[in-house]
A and B are shown apart, each in its own frame.
Chain A
Amino acid sequence: MILANDFLYIYYKEQNIVINRSQFSGSISLIGEKKLANKYSYFVSSVTYNEKNIIVFDLDNYFSDNYRTESVNDTKLAIISRIDILEKSAIDKLYRDCFTYNSNLATDYIAFSLTSNSEIKNSPVMKFRLLSQTLNSHLRSKGLLATSFIESRIEYFIDLNHLLSYNLLNEVIV
């Protein structure tokens, strides 16, 4: 039985987003972003990490559009994940639609940009509760795994693999 785990808490005005620490390997300040041209609405830039040019998924804007979050500051950072957190079909799509047209991009990492109003902390796993069975697998496929409540705020427990794979495979254009 899992008792506790490290999670990244991202604090927005009225809600928190929670991401499992195991889904990313590091983080950097988002300085020197370069614009990127491609058809995906949330892959709009790249950033340098360990001398590599990494594609950036704008997680902050994604949460704003889909979860109605509102940032409390303008400073951003990026969390870095290995590309193999994605499903194979999503990776193939990324190669086809992004990496082929942007040959200077490293193909082994993805960055997720988000507000810097965040911290990593250890939390009990059982604080999260699954949603209604009818809705569960539908929401999970889009990256929402569970929720918790703290004081008057809701916390959305997000899976980056499902979130990003769904976006890539369904070509969500805002």
Chain B
Amino acid sequence: MKLVDNDEIIKSLENNLTPELSGIESEKILKFVIFKIDNKTYALPGEIVQEIVLDMPIYYLPFVPKYIRGLVNRHGNPYAVVDIKVLFEKEELDGNRFIIIRDLNEKICLIISEITKIVNIKESQVSRITSENEISDFFLDSIDLDDQEVPVLNIYQILKKISNDIS
């Protein structure tokens, strides 16, 4: 049997990526997933949440920043686990729930404490975050929910940070 080299194998794996939903479509009524990391509440746009799973083992991944805790296995696919608590507070989260992010090429998930609820919010209830500090860079918007301002996490800013930190 003819052996193939690794470049050909990687080309095959890349060609096998199947198209999925991509991009974020804006809606007049916006869905958000509200979740907690310890006692802090955050939100994610509903359309980028693929699924929520719990109790998955985290496998070690070398050569990555500390806020990437490792990999989880979701239907045979490796998802990099991002720990927001490490990013903001330099401490690991003792959590067992994961939000799998919907993206064709970026297989990442967030480790969280719990899901609070899923809400539909009018676009007018979403406001831009204007304060400028290192942490607010990771939030694009905030939503007005039960008289509380809940920051909406910007996943793509997190991906940008990862890219900067490993380059």
Contact = CB atoms under 8 A, between A and B. Distances in A.
Interface of A: 1-2, 5-6, 15, 20-23, 66-68, 122, 125-135, 138-140, 142, 144-149, 152, 154, 159, 161
Nearest to A6: B3
A68 B62 CA distance: 9
A140 B7 CA distance: 11
B14 interface: yes
A128 B14 CA distance: 11
A11 to B, nearest CB: 16
B108 A20 contact: no
A149 B59 CA distance: 10
A139 B28 CA distance: 40
A132 B10 contact: no
A128 B108 CA distance: 17
Interface residues of B, number: 38
Contacts of A67: 60, 62
B76 A134 contact: no
A40 B162 CA distance: 29
A66 B71 contact: no
Interface string B30-60: 0000000000000000000000000001011
Contacts of B77: 129
B10 A133 contact: no
Nearest to B79: A132
B135 interface: no
A126 B13 contact: yes
Contacts of B136: none
Contacts of B78: 129, 131-132, 147, 149, 154
B1 interface: yes
A52 to B, nearest CB: 24
Given A2-B4, A21-B3, A130 B10 contact: yes
4 pairs of A and B residues whose beta carbons are closest in the complex = A22-B3, A133-B105, A154-B59, A149-B73
Contacts of A68: 60, 62
B3 A125 contact: no
Given A22-B4, A139-B63, A152 B57 contact: yes
B7 to A, nearest CB: 9
18 contacts: A2-B4, A2-B8, A6-B1, A15-B60, A125-B9, A126-B16, A129-B13, A129-B76, A129-B77, A129-B78, A132-B79, A132-B106, A132-B107, A135-B166, A138-B63, A138-B166, A154-B59, A159-B6
B3 A131 contact: no
A134 B13 contact: no
B12 interface: yes
Contact of B105 (A132, A138, A139, A140): A132
B5 interface: yes
B112 interface: no
Nearest to B162: A134
B78 to A, nearest CB: 5
B150 interface: no
A15 B60 CA distance: 10
Contact of A125 (B12, B71, B107): B12
B148 interface: no
